[in-house]
Amino acid sequence: MENLTKWILDWEIHLLVFISFGLQLFLFFTGGLRRHGSNRLLRLSIWIGYLGADVVAVYALGYLSRHDGATHGCDTLRGAHPLAFFWAPFLIIHLGGQDTITAFAMEDNNLWLRHLLNLVVQVALSIYVFWNSIDKQSSKLLISGISLFVAGIIKYGERIWSLKSGSFESLKSSDGNHYKQRLPEAIHANGIYSDAAWTSLQSMIDVFHIFSARPGERYMRQQGAMQPKKLLKVLEIQLGMMYDYLYTKSHVLRTKSGIILGGISKICLVVAFILFLTADRQNYRRANIVITFSLFAGSFFLEACAAFIFMMSPWTLAWLEARKHEKLALFSWFLFTIGWPEKRPLWSNVVGQCNLFGWLEGQDISRSCNQLVRNMIQQLVTLVGIKKDKVFSMRMVTFGTEYIKADKVLDCLLKGVSQLFDENPDINGIIQIPQIWLNNHGPVQEALESYSYTRDGYSSLWEFVSDSYTRDFSSTIVVVHLLTEIALRECSELDGNVEEDTKHLVELCKALSRYTMYLLVNHPSLLPVSANTVATLERLD
């Protein structure tokens, strides 16, 4: 037992460095899989890897700083593994993360200041480790380590830059000018897919305005004029590009500063490898040398893979097309069709569902094991005093959250949008849509006027609905959701007398209604809403 303990202590730093590198490999190749699927096990694995990568790298740096300069015996870290100090800058590179994942959720982007502080602290620790070993190392090895430090600081800086760009405040204040670049007149490839890719690039400036609650009118008219099949593919590509912007380094690497910094980082990595290759390594253990070469090889491999991913970006394709680099553009298009295949959905193809009506009634939709666990968690966070809006979100998850396939829902929605713009060619902005609905649904008005509603000075339910529509978008979503649930429940009572087409329409209406509530409760930042979600719902409770 003592021998095992001694072996673990002797090789602990090696295990930590290998685990850190292994987590980076895992995150690089799985970070983008969330774009295409909603498997909970996969998401859980990525989440654990995302959190664990930082924890392991930070712990390893702390281990080096604690053990490297404490004593000078042959059994210490410095005496047993004198090359271990050289792994500190590799850990900084690992903390910089991978190009395919900088954030797991949008909320992670708001923590960019915390990562900036972490960069300062961890670089200081690494310099401390380096300083303690500077007297016994060759000049080539020290210069190699300094080059790695520069590469690591740049990598971590790119991550912080990406997080800041994807934060809520940056998204709301940005006008999308970073998308205003010289685009080609067309993408020189045949088929609907190339046309859809070009249209997506052209409209991304207006898509960006969604986050600042000011959707572009030109964008809405363009979307409404498209055929449903093309519109579906355009939306998928746009979702893919927005995913890259929010959760990866792609938008940073496209900028002029990002390209320059990325080039410096790669040059520093090559210089460090050459210096290490030519340095005197006779005084170091073979195992330590193998680990160091493995870290270099892994870094080069990940950089090469990142270059391929960069080439398959639609923005890279557009940049090459605009500058008439035809051969490189064809190669980029080839990679684009592999990474963004036409026949494969470019998003998870599922939509969340929240049933506010069931929550107001206090009825649990299903008593699955997962929901029972969420019930217990919700009670726990209530006891410890979590903020009210967070508790409300958990209660909504408990009583009404599920995920369904979006194929039929999306097809119906796209046809409805096209029909709306065909019937109202002069539509001018999203604010007019509720009023158009009110002006063209006489039967609904007649039905709601028959319901008495005397709260807040209203004479009928229709008067309350009309006022809610014109007040704010969050009230519109809540009111329409509740009315839809009421109407669909009444329809379900006539199940025996309802045709199959009507039943299908009922399911679509239910899915769309619950999806809008899901967005309002869980992701209000994605909607053009100004009112506080909890305040809106409490007013209607």
Q: Which residue has the higher pLDDT, 397 or 144?
A: 144
pLDDT tens figures, 131-181:
887 777 788 888 999 999 999 999 999 999 999 998 888 887 776 665 655
Q: Which residue has the higher pLDDT, 242 or 304?
A: 304
| Whole-number pLDDT of residue 218 | 55
- pLDDT winner (highest mean) among 1-5, 43-47, 135-139: 43-47
The yes-or-no verdict on residue 364 having pLDDT over 50 is no
Q: How confident is the model at residue 300 (pLDDT cuts 50, 70, 90)?
A: very high
Q: pLDDT exceeding 90 applies to what percent of the chain?
A: 24
SS3 at position 149:
helix
> What is the Cβ-side half-sphere exposure of residue 185, based on CA atoms within 13 angstroms?
1
Selection from 486, 487, 485, 464 nearest residue 475 by Cα:
464
The DSSP result for 194-225, as a single string, is HHHHHHHHHHHHHHHGGGGT---HHHHHHHHH
210-217 long-range contacts, CB within 8 A, separation 24+ = 210/526, 210/528, 211/168, 211/171, 211/172, 211/174, 211/525, 211/526, 212/171, 212/172, 212/173, 212/174, 212/175, 213/172, 213/527, 213/528, 213/529, 213/530, 214/528, 215/429, 215/430, 215/528, 217/428, 217/429
pLDDT tens figures, 492-508:
666 566 677 777 888 88
- Rounded to the nearest 5°, which phi and psi values hold at 385? 90, 35
What average pLDDT does this structure show over 346-350?
Answer: 79
Report the C-alpha gap between 339 and 332 in whole angstroms: 10
Q: How confident is the model at residue 34 (pLDDT cuts 50, 70, 90)?
A: confident
At 113, list the tokens: 């200041």
pLDDT tens figures, 223-280:
556 677 777 888 888 888 888 889 999 889 888 899 999 999 999 999 999 999 998 8
Q: How do strand 402-405 and strand 350-353 relate by DSSP bridges?
A: antiparallel
pTM: 0.79
> What residues does each domain of the chain span?
2-171+252-286, 401-440+472-540
Q: How confident is the model at residue 70 (pLDDT cuts 50, 70, 90)?
A: very low
The yes-or-no verdict on residue 37 having pLDDT over 90 is no
- Written as one letter, the residue type at 397 is V
Report the C-alpha gap between 232 and 217 in whole angstroms: 19
Q: How confident is the model at residue 398 (pLDDT cuts 50, 70, 90)?
A: very low
| Whole-number pLDDT of residue 222 | 58
Sequence-distant (6+) residues with CB within 8 A of 111 are 163
| Other Cβ atoms within 10 Å of 519 Cβ, number | 17
61-68 long-range contacts, CB within 8 A, separation 24+ = 61/88, 61/91, 61/92, 61/122, 61/125, 61/126, 61/129, 62/125, 63/12, 63/13, 63/16, 64/13, 64/88, 64/91, 64/125, 64/126, 64/129, 65/125, 65/128, 65/129, 67/13, 68/129, 68/132, 68/133
List helix spans (H) across 323-368: 326-339, 356-361
Q: How confident is the model at residue 199 (pLDDT cuts 50, 70, 90)?
A: confident
The yes-or-no verdict on residue 341 having pLDDT over 50 is yes
Selection from 18, 19, 27 nearest residue 46 by Cα:
27
Q: Which residue has the higher pLDDT, 189 or 281?
A: 281
Specify whether the CB–CB gap between 312 and 336 falls below 8 A.
yes
| Whole-number pLDDT of residue 46 | 94
Q: Which residue has the higher pLDDT, 506 or 378?
A: 506
Selection from 50, 54, 32 nearest residue 115 by Cα:
54
The yes-or-no verdict on residue 401 having pLDDT over 50 is yes
Q: Which of 41-45, 386-390, 442-446, 507-511 has the lowest mean pLDDT?
A: 386-390
Report the C-alpha gap between 233 and 238 in whole angstroms: 9
SS3 at position 428:
coil
Distance, first Cα to last Cα, the chain: 63
Q: How confident is the model at residue 388 (pLDDT cuts 50, 70, 90)?
A: very low
The two most distant CA atoms of the chain are separated, in Å, by 92
Average pLDDT, the chain: 76
pLDDT tens figures, 413-471:
777 777 766 766 665 554 455 555 555 555 556 666 665 666 666 666 667 666 666 56
The yes-or-no verdict on residue 335 having pLDDT over 50 is yes
pLDDT tens figures, 6-22:
767 678 888 999 999 99
| Whole-number pLDDT of residue 522 | 77
- Rounded to the nearest 5°, which phi and psi values hold at 71? -135, 180
Report the C-alpha gap between 1 and 7 in whole angstroms: 10
Q: How confident is the model at residue 330 (pLDDT cuts 50, 70, 90)?
A: confident
What average pLDDT does this structure show over 345-370?
Answer: 66
